[in-house]
Amino acid sequence: MHTRRTHRRSRTAAVLLVSAASAVAAALLVSSCSAGSASGSATAADAALTALPRATPKALAPYYGQKLSWRSCGAPEFQCATLRAPLDYGDPGRGEVRLAVARKKATGPGERLGSLLVNPGGPGGSAVDFLQSYAGIGYPAKVRARYDMVAVDPRGVARSEPVKCLDGREMDRYTQTDVTPDDTRETDALVTSYRKYAEGCGAQSPRLLRHVSTVESARDMDLLRQVLGDRKLNYVGASYGTFLGATYAGLFPERTGRLVLDGAMDPALPARRLNLDQTAGFETAFRAFAKDCVTRPDCPLGGRGTSVDRVGRNLKAFFGTLDTRPVAASDADGRRLTESLATTGVIAAMYDESAWEQLREALTSAMREKDGAGLLTLSDSYYERQPDGEYSNLMFANTAVNCLDLPPAFDTPEEVREALPQFEKASPVFGEGFAWSALNCAYWPVAATGEPHRIAAEGAAPIVVVGTTRDPATPYRWAQSLSRQLTTARLLTYDGDGHTAYGRGSACIDRAIDTYLLRGTPPKDGKRCS
């Protein structure tokens, strides 16, 4: 079972965003909204996110006044600490959560510009891991010389009191569940799987589930800004991290410094529309892959001259075969490659065109040699399944945040069936599975607290919004929409493939963002790079 998400782990790892299991996030907690009800309306919201008062409430003073105790951790030059935040900002006396923070101090030369907070997306991606494995060592040296590189795992994620739901064996069964049900029996099995997953989360993380929203994590970021001694927040967020950053700007526009939102999400859309747009985004990415594949001698889906539509039908037919006859996989702990796992493996490779060769090899092995190990490897990387059969908490946090941020895309299987033609039109290859996967939040044990909202962030400093024209996970239209909402936005476009743009090979993109981070000079609105 794939679970759509927006997540960037590193420049080279597949930046995975999948899942329909939880309507890709967006949504806020403020004022009323005119769209995005549980019916999953496709209409964008008219309501806007309201900024919080500038004065810090007295009840939060102990949190804003805390001191971090830094210690060595991970690789050399990295330090870690624990940030305390209220469990419930509406009632700070109800308890607190402890958030994992990491930093790598500015190396010089040059004047220190403050802290640069980074977030890789998800929701559910570990920002601390991202900092230590990539941003703290892979961001341009001139940026790392001037900024303390900082990350905080959002509440419920990784080291920050992680949400827990299922053990490894239970998660294996969950990911193998058929998300293209052919009859009532298979539909009931899918619903049962969603219910068991939700019940597991509710039983193991009852305290946190009501308090892992994007709004709350954005408020945690403001706590961290103050504790670090920064007057304004400087930030680079990728994928879902753009929603987190935009939410911060909407809540605290006067405290917003240099913000880069790369692979932007549109917070004004309800869950069903987000899922539908993302379905079309993966179809766009797949067609780019298919067009490239048929020019290669090792393409298992067709030879030179094969149409893109035919490539899609060939892949869909292969998925259909796996639906009834899963393929064995060497070195896979006895697991077999099911239709659901194979689909997830293909989706995983759509995040980065550098994975296309690996995908061709994996498909060839599965289709011609009847060995599903390659596609299982891609699927496991997407779900962050470990060699010992356990899973990271990424998917649990992903669902928890998404289901709290927005009302469900669908409430019943009947609603999914009615919407199937729309999803299959958006993607003949992936549409059916994505539609059924979007039913997940209907059974969540906690009601959504957020709704779709526009974010204007009036009074904020210039914000750079980055969109990639053939991005599968965060379609380019979302970047266009967010840049129109944010009053100070500058839209920077990468004409290319893959998910997100910064640090992925475009000198033009990297130069524009580096100049903004180092000098405060944003690119001209509408600038395009390739």
The 3-state DSSP class for residue 364 equals helix
Q: Which two tokens stand for residue 401?
A: 């945040």
CA distance 369 to 337: 13
- DSSP label at 47? -
User: Does 525 qualify as catalytic in the annotation?
Assistant: no
User: Does 222 qualify as catalytic in the annotation?
Assistant: no
Counting every residue, how long is the chain? Answer: 530
Cβ proximity of 356 and 349 under 8 Å? yes
Catalytic residue among 178, 471, 497, 510: 471
CA distance 182 to 187: 7
Catalytic residue among 213, 239, 365, 427: 239
Sheet holding 463-470, edge to edge: 71-72, 78-86, 96-104, 147-152, 114-119, 233-238, 256-262, 463-470, 489-497, 527-529
Catalytic residue among 2, 211, 453, 499: 499
Degrees (nearest 5) of the Cα angle 373, 377, 379? 115
CA distance 30 to 92: 18
At residue 262, what is the residue type?
D
User: Does 239 qualify as catalytic in the annotation?
Assistant: yes
Residue 453 backbone dihedrals phi, psi, to 5 degrees:
-145, 145
- Number of neighbours of residue 219 by Cβ within 10 angstroms: 21
First-last CA distance in the chain: 34
Q: Please identify every residue annotated as catalytic.
A: 239, 471, 499
